[in-house]
Amino acid sequence: MAVFTKIKKKQLSLFLKSFNIKKLIKFKEVNQGTENSTFFINTENKKFVLTLFEQCEYNDLTFFIDLLKFLYSHCLPVALPLNDKNNIIIKKLSGKNALLFPKLYGIHPITPNIEQCSIIGKTLGRLHSISKNFKLKKQNLRDINWILLNYYKVISFLNKKDQNLMFNQIYLLKHLVKEKQLPQGILHGDLFRDNTLFYGNNLCGLIDFYNACTGDLIFDLAILINDWCSDKYGNIIEYKYKAILNNYIIERPFTKKELDIWPKMLRLTALRYWISRLLVINIFPVAHNLIPKEPKKYRDILVSRCNKKLPSLF
């Protein structure tokens, strides 16, 4: 979530009237994220989240909407975008495609406890398990192929030691997807702590599905593990790691191929986020008032995954 496109109160009030929402009290820019413009909206008796899509095409949005409907129908904690009074979901505002959502309750778990880790592991396992019944497909645009196309844009900004680290890992991992046929399904694609909402130990929401795609299921799980289970040095926090994985496999057990490739997948996803954060800082402009996320975090995670043995899975 972030803000690239500015809107005015009068403009927003007119937009909300098309949903029969009459009384706008205030709205606030959300200065997080790197891709879309997001606003929190307070009206007389309800709260909403408005997202303007800076790059996402109409057809991609229909995929996300159908996915959210599918997940909602299976009782996962997602918000559905609202229809306006003419039954239109995808709207235009400031020349951008726009979706309006009810605002879900809860806060991001900055330092998740063992119960929250257990819940998110079980929830992601269930999402992956039911995703075999979702018929639509969308290519994973942030896989090893994306890494091979983009690492050269940022590697010159690194010192020699980090250049060698990146080169070596790309060499070791570039055949990862081709070598193994892994279970596939729908991925959230970005299930960081700040894309979940908790009230105490109750999971209230999974949000920001705009990186959702079809791909290797453990790619998605590795993204979650690297964010939820790493200390400030990038090392695995064992009790969180085991809480997530032991609950995930209740819903979807690992295959033998997944067990074999799991350490490499943790390295691959760390490499993916190291490169994407370097791109944001060095190549692509960010939204105003946005502080880019630190690439070094994922460099450190990658180093740890290379040098330290993982805790036993089960």
CATH number of 114-307: 3.90.1200.10
DSSP tag of 193: G
pLDDT of 3 = 58
Q: What is the pLDDT of residue 1?
A: 43
Do 138 and 63 contact (CB within 8 A), yes or no? yes
Q: Which CATH number fits domain 9-102: 3.30.200.20, 3.40.50.720, 3.40.50.970, 1.10.10.10?
A: 3.30.200.20
**160 token code pair:** 């020699």
pLDDT at 57: 83
Mean pLDDT of 86-103: 96
pLDDT given at position 284: 80
> Which tokens belong to 197?
């909402």
Lowest average pLDDT, out of 210-214, 221-225, 292-296, goes to 292-296
The answer to whether residue 250 scores a pLDDT higher than 60 is yes
To the nearest 10 degrees (0 to 180), the angle between helices 238-251 and 217-228 is 150
SS3 123: helix
Per-residue pLDDT at 112: 98
Decide whether 9-102 matches 114-307 in CATH topology: no
- pLDDT grade for 178, boundaries at 50, 70 and 90: low
Tell me what the pLDDT averaged over the chain comes to.
93
Give yes or no for a contact between 27 and 12, defined as CB atoms under 8 angstroms apart: yes
Average pLDDT score over residue span 119-129: 98
pLDDT on residue 290: 62
Question: Helix, strand, coil % (nearest 5) of the chain?
Answer: 45, 15, 35
CA–CA dist 300, 303 (Å, integer): 5
Query: What residue spans define the domains of the chain?
Result: 9-102, 114-307
Percent of the residues in the chain that have a pLDDT greater than 70, as a whole number: 94
* Helix residue spans in the chain (DSSP H): 9-17, 58-73, 114-130, 144-154, 160-173, 176-179, 217-228, 238-251, 256-282, 296-307
